[in-house]
Amino acid sequence: MSLHHPTVAIVGATGAVGSELMTCLESRDFPLERLRLFASGRSAGRKLLFRGQGIAVEELNEDGFPGVDIALFSAGGAVSRRFAPIAVRQGTVVVDNSSAFRMEPGVPLVVPEVNPDAITRHIGIVANPNCVAIVAVVPLWPLHRHTRIRRVIAATYQAASGAGAAAMEELRASTAAYLRGAEYQHRVLAHPYAFNLFSHDTRVDPTSGYNEEETKVMRELRKIMDEPELRIGVTCVRVPVLRAHSIALTVEFERPIAPEQAREVLTCAPGVRIVDDAAENHFPMPIEASGQDDVLVGRIRRDASDPSGCSLALFVAGDQLLKGAALNAVQIAERLVA
Amino acid sequence: MSLHHPTVAIVGATGAVGSELMTCLESRDFPLERLRLFASGRSAGRKLLFRGQGIAVEELNEDGFPGVDIALFSAGGAVSRRFAPIAVRQGTVVVDNSSAFRMEPGVPLVVPEVNPDAITRHIGIVANPNCVAIVAVVPLWPLHRHTRIRRVIAATYQAASGAGAAAMEELRASTAAYLRGAEYQHRVLAHPYAFNLFSHDTRVDPTSGYNEEETKVMRELRKIMDEPELRIGVTCVRVPVLRAHSIALTVEFERPIAPEQAREVLTCAPGVRIVDDAAENHFPMPIEASGQDDVLVGRIRRDASDPSGCSLALFVAGDQLLKGAALNAVQIAERLVA
């Protein structure tokens, strides 16, 4: 790989994350020599603007990767499973935004604020974690380093963006239909979305009762933090918000920790911005997290259900498309070329 | 009081809950002799339809209560604090939907499925609990009777209806404005509401970090369940849903309890409907809870963060205007005349 001026490819360039990947590469002035854009045949030939120039979208096929140093995959698990190994065999390093390889033992699962060193151990693929896992771990990790975390209970408020650009459009269109009293037949998500919320519509394991999203979040948090025994319980809920995921977190530590200590730790933590103004009732909100690199953290308080003083409650919001996906992938790529 | 055919008054008849109170009295064929409707002077003279007849709204004043046997108050804490004692002195029994008297030692705080006997101890006022507390306690109580609950952690997804009819209209109007790219100046709630969510905008206690809504839920759950030491931690969040509140609950019991046991208990519990179809990914949703008397309960599973088997996770949704307010008040009134 040309370490300093690589050729970078985006696989899934026309999706919601693909578009944010281009924006991140541009805004962070990523030192690339050339950008190539791949998508399905349907989008081939379409031109997308990057650094003021139109780049034609190429149809993804098995011969596309020679000369590509880093490929940022964001076209779903099936595309990653099929094409990432081909890219790797052709010498490309893959940063994969899908869940296809995240839990494979040889694949580093990386949030640069947490485990940047894991990147160096890659054998061709670096996995970008699930968006909820990323948004949660950015504040959890510095707290864990300060006072060891024993248990995490999370309830999510996940935006449409997590299900892609089509889901965002379904939220808009179904809400507009509702407001004018018209029928709307939902196509992208499993349930009506206008002014409604629902349990994350991934498959539910009949034994555990947890859905795939929740299982991902729990497994991936343990892997990123390298704490295989960390106790985590997650409830994933889709809410009618366009982008940025929020999470209500209850965190049990091994020792008592005061909210003031946590606030101090988080104030210095990379990728975190404290939004915790009780007097103004100003706390993390998805509309303020949208477009922001940082994860917003607030409502930092002693968990009233734990008299030992070992538990804190907090509320966080992070842009699902940025830190939850594109930004984190580009940060990984930056480490690859550094 | 004419026990069998009382004169009933609704105070706050033109509000979101007031309108549902009329619907509940009608649909449940409440045995009333006469219905009187009170509101502010602004609405006086307006006629509202009840059992096919127009009833004129009267301006609320201090002389309105003679002859009223039961007054259902739903016009906010200030109106209750001022007029409920006056009504009681004039021989009226007040069922108060505001938070004004809920925590007063002599005032029963009642959810008929939980503590109906408390009603008999009233000295003029029976308080109707906070809507989140009601929706949570309906499934928590039968579980607690089966296996004692030790700790509850709750994250709420609260609808616009909880802040009244004006907030529901603000959600509709601000969302419509957003969709057509227009500005919208929010007036009712503290934050922009279109495709956004925010921490419940009641005052935050600077010491505990909990807001008033959360404090109400925690205190009221303890009082309704008569468990003053029950450990509860709540995070209250307003989501862009029109009506029906949802809650993600993590519940620690004194002894292990299997999800199957909990499901069995809840299947027989009054006011509960199990919606827990993992194969179809069908769980409690606000649009399906809306207009329903029952609290929907699903996602019943072992809490993955507690290896002892003593904790369960569940997700519930209940109509904030019905069981969370009007229906519960009418159920209390039914007990008063029974």
Q: What is the pLDDT at residue B4?
A: 76
Whether A1 shows a pLDDT value over 60: the answer reads no
Contacts of A29 (CB under 8 A, 6+ apart): none
Whether B197 sits inside 8 A of A246 (CB atoms) is yes
Q: What is the pLDDT at residue A338?
A: 87
Give the residue from B287, B311, B319 with the most A CB atoms within 10 Å of its CB, the best one to mutate: B287
**Of A202, A306, A313, which has the smallest distance from its Cβ to B231's Cβ?**
A306
| CA–CA min distance B166, chain A (Å) | 16
Q: Which residues of A are catalytic?
A: 131, 245
- pLDDT tens digits for range A122-154: 999 999 999 999 999 999 999 999 999 999 999
Whether A223 shows a pLDDT value over 80: the answer reads yes
| CA–CA min distance B66, chain A (Å) | 43
Mean pLDDT, residues A278-291: 97
Tell me the C-alpha distance between A220 and A207, whole Å: 20
How far is the CA of B53 from the CAs of A194, A242, A246, in angstroms?
35, 45, 48
Tell me the C-alpha distance between B162 and B76, whole Å: 12
- pLDDT tens digits for range B156-171: 999 999 999 999 999 9
| Mean pLDDT of chain A, nearest integer | 97
Whether A304 sits inside 8 A of B231 (CB atoms) is yes
Contacts of B182 (CB under 8 A, 6+ apart): none
Whether A3 shows a pLDDT value over 90: the answer reads no
| Token pair listed for B178 | 């957003």
**Chain A residues with CB inside 8 Å of B308's CB?**
none
Tell me the C-alpha distance between A88 and A96, whole Å: 11
| CA–CA min distance A166, chain B (Å) | 16
Q: Is A263 exposed, middle or buried (0-12, 13-18, 19+ CB in 10 A)?
A: middle
Mean pLDDT, residues B89-112: 97
| CA–CA min distance B275, chain A (Å) | 12
**Chain A residues with CB inside 8 Å of B214's CB?**
304
**Of A157, A235, A259, which has the smallest distance from its Cβ to B237's Cβ?**
A157
Q: What is the pLDDT at residue B338?
A: 87
- Reported as a pLDDT band with limits 50, 70 and 90, residue A4 is confident
Whether A2 shows a pLDDT value over 60: the answer reads no
For helices A212-225 and A131-146, angle between their N-to-C axes, nearest 10 degrees = 40
Across the strands, what pairs with B253?
Answer: B149
Whether A233 sits inside 8 A of B208 (CB atoms) is no
Mean pLDDT, residues B46-72: 96
Mean pLDDT, residues A216-236: 98
Q: Nearest residue on chain A to B205, judged by CA atoms?
A: A278
- pLDDT tens digits for range A249-265: 999 999 999 999 999 99
| Whether the Cβ atoms of residue B267 and residue B143 lie closer than 8 Å to each other | no
DSSP-derived pairing of the beta strands A198-199 and A125-127: unpaired
| CA–CA min distance A293, chain B (Å) | 18
| Token pair listed for A35 | 């950008």
Q: Nearest residue on chain B to A277, judged by CA atoms?
A: B204
**Chain B residues with CB inside 8 Å of A179's CB?**
172, 175-176, 179
| Token pair listed for B48 | 């509202």
Whether A305 sits inside 8 A of B241 (CB atoms) is no
Closest CA to B269 of B154, B112, B62: B112
Tell me the C-alpha distance between A31 and B111, whole Å: 64
Q: Nearest residue on chain B to A299, judged by CA atoms?
A: B209
Mean pLDDT, residues B86-114: 97
Q: How far apart are the first and last CA of chain B?
A: 12
Q: What is the pLDDT at residue B137?
A: 98
Contacts of B259 (CB under 8 A, 6+ apart): A209, B300, B301, B302, B312
Q: What is the CATH architecture assignment of A133-320? A: 2-Layer Sandwich (3.30)
Q: Nearest residue on chain A to B204, judged by CA atoms?
A: A278
Q: What is the pLDDT at residue B3?
A: 63
Tell me the C-alpha distance between B294 and B328, whole Å: 11
Q: Nearest residue on chain A to B306, judged by CA atoms?
A: A231
**Chain A residues with CB inside 8 Å of B157's CB?**
157, 197, 237, 239
Whether A250 sits inside 8 A of B231 (CB atoms) is no
Q: Is A31 exposed, middle or buried (0-12, 13-18, 19+ CB in 10 A)?
A: middle
For B300, phi then psi, to 5°, come to -75, 115
Domain-wise residue ranges, chain B: 7-129+325-337, 133-320
| CA–CA min distance A212, chain B (Å) | 12
| Mean pLDDT of chain B, nearest integer | 97
What count of Cα atoms within 13 Å lies in the side-chain half-sphere of residue B337?
23
Q: Tell me, rounded to whole angstroms, the distance of Cα A49 from its chain centroid.
A: 24
Q: At A238, which amino acid appears? A: R
Give the residue from B174, B229, B237 with the most A CB atoms within 10 Å of its CB, the best one to mutate: B237
In CATH terms, the fold of domain B7-129+325-337 is Rossmann fold (3.40.50)
**Chain A residues with CB inside 8 Å of B204's CB?**
278-279, 281
pLDDT over 70 percentage in chain A: 99
Contacts of A108 (CB under 8 A, 6+ apart): A115, A118, A119, A121, A122, A126, A127
Tell me the C-alpha distance between A68 and A2, whole Å: 10
**Strands lying side by side in the sheet with B93-96:** B47-50, B53-59, B34-39, B7-11, B70-73, B93-96, B125-127
Q: Nearest residue on chain B to A250, judged by CA atoms?
A: B153
CA Rg value for chain B:
20
| Token pair listed for A318 | 């992070």
| Whether the Cβ atoms of residue B71 and residue B9 lie closer than 8 Å to each other | yes
Whether A197 sits inside 8 A of B246 (CB atoms) is yes
CB neighbourhood size of A52 (10 A): 6
CB neighbourhood size of A281 (10 A): 16
Which helix (DSSP H) or strand (DSSP E) does residue A302 occupy?
A: strand A295-302
pTM of the predicted protein model: 0.97
Instruction: State the count of interchain CB pairs (< 8 A) between A and B.
Output: 185
- pLDDT tens digits for range B293-332: 999 999 999 999 999 999 999 999 999 999 999 999 999 9
**Of A283, A305, A307, which has the smallest distance from its Cβ to B152's Cβ?**
A305
How far is the CA of B212 from the CAs of A206, A241, B192, in angstroms?
38, 25, 20
* DSSP type of residue B96: E
* DSSP type of residue A60: P
Give the residue from B132, B161, B196, B296 with the most A CB atoms within 10 Å of its CB, the best one to mutate: B196
* DSSP type of residue B130: P
Give the residue from B150, B174, B183, B197 with the most A CB atoms within 10 Å of its CB, the best one to mutate: B197
- pLDDT tens digits for range A6-56: 999 999 999 999 999 999 999 999 999 999 999 999 999 999 999 999 999
| Token pair listed for A258 | 């005061």
Tell me the C-alpha distance between A242 and A156, whole Å: 14
**Chain B residues with CB inside 8 Å of A307's CB?**
231
Q: Nearest residue on chain B to A286, judged by CA atoms?
A: B196
Taken in order B291, B127, B163, B143, the sign of the CA dihedral is negative
- pLDDT tens digits for range A145-181: 999 999 999 999 999 999 999 999 999 999 999 999 9
Q: At A61, which amino acid appears? A: N
Tell me the C-alpha distance between A153 and A139, whole Å: 14
CA Rg value for chain A:
20
Tell me whether 0.85 is exceeded by the ipTM: yes
